[in-house]
Amino acid sequence: MQSAVKAMGGEAVYLKGVAESHPAARDVFSRVVDNYGFRLAQIVNHFDPELILIYGPYHELGERFLGPVREVMARHTIPGDLDGLHLRLAGERTPEVTLRAAAVPVLAAALGQQSALEGDRSGSAAKVAARLLPC
């Protein structure tokens, strides 16, 4: 797929083509969505995460990317497995964002233990990520 994007003139041209429904760009985009959806479904099937952050160029497309990815994920997961899953686009990954992302599960666990004692779920990974990461 990278070679197809390169042949179109690069990532910016490709994403513009997706936004403008250019047939070649939409074809590559369809394969990308299938790839992301299938792979993320496997993560859900094996790990049951509460939050999945997707870094990369597709944050510009927002729900036009996430919607189709969720549809593919739904075809490859057990019904109900996507309930409560937060799927977010997180922009480009920088060293600072990488460090913050690595801290999410640790902080969520620590805050979750405290929150459980207090009777709420304010320490959930999704809430911690919302505070720490530029989503």
Band of pLDDT at residue 135, cut at 50, 70 and 90: low
Taking phi first (over 0 means left), then psi (-120 to 50 degrees means alpha), and beta for anything else, what does residue 62 get?
A: left
pTM, whole model, 2 decimals? 0.75
d(CA 50, CA 126): 7
pLDDT tops 90 at residue 91 = no
Token digits of residue 135: 């989503």
Band of pLDDT at residue 103, cut at 50, 70 and 90: confident
**Domain layout of the chain by residue ranges:** 2-132
Quick check: 120 and 112 in contact, CB under 8 A? no
Quick check: 124 and 108 in contact, CB under 8 A? yes
pLDDT tops 60 at residue 116 = no
CATH of domain 2-132: 3.30.420
